[in-house]
Amino acid sequence: MARSIGVMAAEHVAVGAVEDNRLTGPLCVFPKEPDRKAEVLHSMPAHEIAFSIVETIESARQGEAVDAIGVGFPGIIRDGIVEESPNLQQVKGFDLAAALTAALRQRGVSAPVVVFNDADVTAAGIAATSGRLDRPIRVWTLGNGIGFGRYPWSEGVWEGGHCVVTLDPKEHFCGCGGKGHLEGIMGHRAMRLRFLDMEPEEVFANAKAGDPRCEAFVKMWHRALAAATASSIHMSGPGEFFVTGLNARFIDLGLLNRYLHEMVKMTPLQGSYFEVVATSDDVGVIGAAVNAERFARASA
Question: Quick one: which of 128, 124, 126, 176 has its CA closest to 154?
Answer: 124
Residue 167 Cβ, how far from Zn ion at the closest point, in Å? 15
Residue 174 Cβ, how far from Zn ion at the closest point, in Å? 3
For strands 137-142 and 240-244, give the pairing.
parallel
Residue 166 Cβ, how far from Zn ion at the closest point, in Å? 12
What is the edge-to-edge ordering of all strands in the sheet holding 137-142?
146-151, 137-142, 240-244, 273-276
Alpha carbon separation from 200 to 7, 35, 186, 204, 265 (Å, rounded): 29, 21, 10, 6, 32
Which residue type does 173 have?
A: F
- In the bound state with Zn ion, the residue whose beta carbon lies nearer, of 16 and 86, is 86
Tell me whether the omega of the peptide bond preceding residue 31 falls within 30 degrees of 0, making it cis: yes
- In the bound state with Zn ion, the residue whose beta carbon lies nearer, of 87 and 291, is 87
Question: Quick one: which of 182, 163, 194, 257 has its CA closest to 221?
Answer: 182
Residue 186 Cβ, how far from Zn ion at the closest point, in Å? 11
- In the bound state with Zn ion, the residue whose beta carbon lies nearer, of 7 and 163, is 163
Residue 178 Cβ, how far from Zn ion at the closest point, in Å? 4
- In the bound state with Zn ion, the residue whose beta carbon lies nearer, of 3 and 162, is 162
- Interacting residues toward Zn ion by CB under 5 A: 162, 174, 176, 178, 181
- In the bound state with Zn ion, the residue whose beta carbon lies nearer, of 176 and 263, is 176
- In the bound state with Zn ion, the residue whose beta carbon lies nearer, of 30 and 158, is 158
- In the bound state with Zn ion, the residue whose beta carbon lies nearer, of 29 and 142, is 142
> What are the contacts of 268-275 at 24+ separation with CB within 8 A?
269/233, 269/234, 269/237, 269/238, 270/238, 271/238, 272/229, 272/233, 272/238, 272/239, 272/240, 272/241, 273/240, 273/241, 274/229, 274/241, 274/242, 274/243, 275/240, 275/241, 275/242, 275/243
Alpha carbon separation from 4 to 20, 30, 139, 187 (Å, rounded): 9, 19, 23, 32
Residue 185 Cβ, how far from Zn ion at the closest point, in Å? 10
Residue 162 Cβ, how far from Zn ion at the closest point, in Å? 4
